Chains A and B, each alone.
Chain A
Amino acid sequence: MNLLYVLSYLTIAVFILAIAKRFIKFAAMPAHLRWELYPVAHEGKKSVYGGSYFEDTDWWKEKLQQNKLNELTVMLPEIFLLQGIWEHNRKMWLWSFLMHHGVYWCAGMAGLSILYITLQFAGWGYSGVSSFVDLFIAVTGTIGLAAGTIGTLGMLGLRFFDAKMGRFNSFATYFNLFFLLAIFGIGFINLIAGVDIFRQTVGFFGALLGIGFSGYTPGVILFLTLAILFVLYLPFTHMTHFFTKYFTYHSVRWNDEPNLPGGKLEKHIGEYLQYKPTWSAKHIGADGKKNWAEVATSEVLKNDKK
């Protein structure tokens, strides 16, 4: 088990670093030209029909009102109910919903396990609170493993048999799904075989935090190993959409921030206009020495091919 503990510490470190690196990568990118798409959720009442502040006379004279709460009313159903798939891809919804909830509930189980251990540290090991958390670990874990198993099986079926999807699948598409199925499935088999998977999982987290634990069964070791490996693998896949969705929505789809004179945005734009493009088409007139501002204000040349 020591090897698994080492792998787990390593995984946690890699996960945090890789996610942070990815987050910084997107956060540090230049503020692109506006590319919003309506409805923009924070537009308040106008978001009901997709309206914007452009509907208002002399909109630049008023302080722009943004209803951030409204963003939550869109994001929460999107995250927890998969609203977009419900509306536009109904046949996938059930499987995708179950698969995603498999992940959510299992993550919840992990979180509760850590809470349980923390309660132990706090001396509430045998309190009512602790028993309550213990019960919740079993409930969330059971729901997670069952939903995840059914969901990934359904998604695999769709990927295999749906002609629309088939041609776009790559090795990674199947690998990811089989990987998830292996985790959920092995966990679920442990569960129905009567193995105390949740007690062992809590024990595992306890061991990671310094409380010794023994009594693992081979099936749970396999479950935990695969789960850890998946967490290690996740930051390097498109599944990072669980957090990059923040950028696709807030930085792109809903980013309607106007560039007002004297504002922070204007300062950044001034910096971007100093970049020196190297595009090769002659009509651009870029030579790697002129900056964007100079290129954009230069006379257009005829469209001679490169």
Chain B
Amino acid sequence: MTKNNYGIAEFSQASEQLEHIEMSDLYPLPAPYDKLEEQPGWQKIKDAVKQDYESSLDDTIAVGIPKPKTEAEAEKYVAAFLEGMRKLFTKENNWTFLQPLMLTMEHCAKCQTCNDACPIYEASGQKEIYRPTYRSEVLRRIFHKYLQPGGKFFNSLKHGDIELNWTTVARLAELSYRCTLCRRCAQTCPIGVDNGLVTHELRKLFSMELGIAAKEIHEKGSVLQLQVGSSTGMNPLVVKDNMEFIDEDTSERTGMDIKTPWDKEGADVLLLHNAGEIMAWPENPGAFAVLFEAAGISWTLSSDLVGYDAINYGLWYDDVQFARVALKHAQIAKKLKVKKIIMGECGHAHKALMVIADRIFTSEFNVPRESSMTFLEEIFNSGKIKFDPEKNDFPVTLHDPCNMVRLMGIVEPQRRILRALAPRFREMTPHGVHNYCCGGGSGFAIMSPYNFRDWRISVSGRKKMQQILNAFKDEPAEANKYVCAPCSNCKGQIRDMFEYYGVWEKSRINYGGLVELMVNAMVDVKEPYIEWGMH
């Protein structure tokens, strides 16, 4: 059942695979990435895996629910799903999103205006299941048929039919991980319906009622973070050890004496990094330390459990896990008596603590939170650090992390810095609040089970890849170029895409954060801070 020859009702009809993507279906990339035969292609899911795990949606697996062994087990899943749906529409269980969810469920006009805004739908060659409206319509029909008064027959006739069975539940679990929650679709809806929210709520239902979630964001994500301190697995001792190494390395590279302050009570600023930076991109926390020290900021990191990792994966799939992490962050800031928390270069951490958590904090925990983009601009404008923009004399473009830009409205501070410090800065098209997701949003960047990495690179990240290449299309292939991506998850996705396509080798495009560019332009830092090459 492929080639878009299915509707909504077919979603609940068991088949080997509902949708399939050929490489030739994918939205074309600019040269020299336009030759399909030169692309690595996709690994196929092994038959043994298919036998044991749910894989009937499309060519990949994100969640990997074990197939039920008996009819009774399958029915248990279905009953639990329906029970979860009921809870989703009660204020006791879902006061957090009840109003926007109900508004979305009851008012979609099915006009499909949102379709073309979705980078996954577009990049996949407009595959039916990836339409922003598809999963919402499945859920909407279940909602009307099984939860609303009026009877199944009448509601099916009125709103369209669907069967709630194991196939529907299993495919919905997977389909809730084929959307990056970038909410570009919601931006286009004239009525204000938010199909991105439906993905969020579906993930919640699966996690909070059935205990089903992508392993990387739950078990190895928020659970690990709450138990060990960080989803990277670093405990407080390890993180301090790693930062000590970063301090030494940064001091050597910059000629400055850098020593990260830990647990400094009464500091003005608690800086919260995504701990992934410390592991994968140490130059980023290093650059923050250089700038903060050079500007004379009173700052600290925290070595308390959870306090050194800004991530909050609950944002994407589970309100309780989300609240647990957010409360830990707030408690730590309170304990340290800091004046404010500064969010490092991590988009989802920005949105989690500054926006979403805002309405779970009572005054005791409501410590002011500010974006590093704003704070860095303040440092830049203070005149305490001398910069020489000519040191950044290479083409630079900016990736807008969805969480920070479209979903928080932090658009200009980073641009004002780039316009001043990167003389060859140019925008992507489109950009700002209309940007495309990197393709790694909502946890995808850290998810690589089975062949999911291939899917997120080839499909969900395709529009971003195209945008990046187009931003530099007039530059010679051999010239060094820089994608400024002030977000750890986005960097992870961009790194994986660049590796997959061999972007450094073919086009000399590098990526990194904003702080690295700032330090690179510092007059007092004699050697270039940015290291060119794939890393």
Contact = CB atoms under 8 A, between A and B. Distances in A.
A36 B103 contact: no
27 contacts: A31-B99, A32-B95, A33-B97, A35-B194, A36-B407, A37-B406, A38-B407, A49-B433, A50-B411, A54-B354, A83-B190, A172-B158, A240-B106, A251-B100, A252-B192, A253-B192, A259-B366, A269-B360, A269-B362, A275-B92, A276-B92, A277-B93, A279-B84, A279-B93, A280-B208, A284-B320, A305-B211
Nearest to A249: B192
A20 interface: no
B358 A258 contact: yes
Interface of A: 26, 29-40, 43, 46, 49-60, 78, 82-85, 87-89, 92, 96, 164-165, 167-173, 238, 240-241, 244-245, 247-249, 251-253, 256, 258-262, 265-266, 269-270, 272-273, 275-284, 286, 292, 295-300, 302-306
For A57, A83, A167, A300, the residue with the greatest tally of chain B CB atoms inside 10 Å of its CB is A167
Given A32-B95, A251-B99, A269-B360, A238 B109 contact: yes
A88 B366 contact: no
For B112, B223, B359, the residue with the greatest tally of chain A CB atoms inside 10 Å of its CB is B359
A295 B223 CA distance: 15
Interface stretch (B18-26, B367-375, B389-397): B367-375
List of 3 A-B pairs having minimum Cβ-Cβ separation, nearest first: A248-B192, A52-B409, A84-B190
A92 B212 CA distance: 40
B374 A35 contact: no
Contacts of A252: 99-100, 103, 192, 194
A97 to B, nearest CB: 11
A169 to B, nearest CB: 7
A31 B83 CA distance: 24
Interface string B123-134: 000001000010
Contacts of B208: 279-281, 284
Contacts of A52: 408-410
Contacts of A248: 100, 103, 107, 191-194
Interface residues of B, number: 96
A167 to B, nearest CB: 4
Given A33-B359, A165-B110, A281 B95 contact: no
A224 to B, nearest CB: 26
Contact of A168 (B8, B117, B211, B378): B8
B157 A306 contact: no
A89 B209 contact: no
A258 B356 CA distance: 10
A60 B368 contact: yes
B236 interface: no
Interface of B: 7-8, 80, 83-84, 87, 91-93, 95-100, 102-103, 106-117, 128, 133, 137, 157-160, 183, 186-194, 197, 207-213, 218-219, 222-223, 226-227, 319-321, 323-324, 327, 340, 354-356, 358-363, 366, 368, 370-371, 373-375, 378, 405-413, 432-434
Nearest to B226: A300
A34 B93 contact: no
Given A245-B192, A248-B191, A280-B209, A33 B80 contact: no
Given A244-B107, A275-B91, A279-B93, A270 B362 contact: yes
A265 B433 contact: no
B433 A38 contact: yes
A34 B363 contact: no
Nearest to A90: B113
For B107, B197, B227, the residue with the greatest tally of chain A CB atoms inside 10 Å of its CB is B107
A56 B416 CA distance: 13
A32 B212 contact: no
A168 B133 contact: yes
Contacts of A92: 111, 113
A272 B92 CA distance: 8
A40 B103 CA distance: 19
A81 to B, nearest CB: 11
Contact of B356 (A34, A43, A269, A298): A34
A7 B369 CA distance: 58
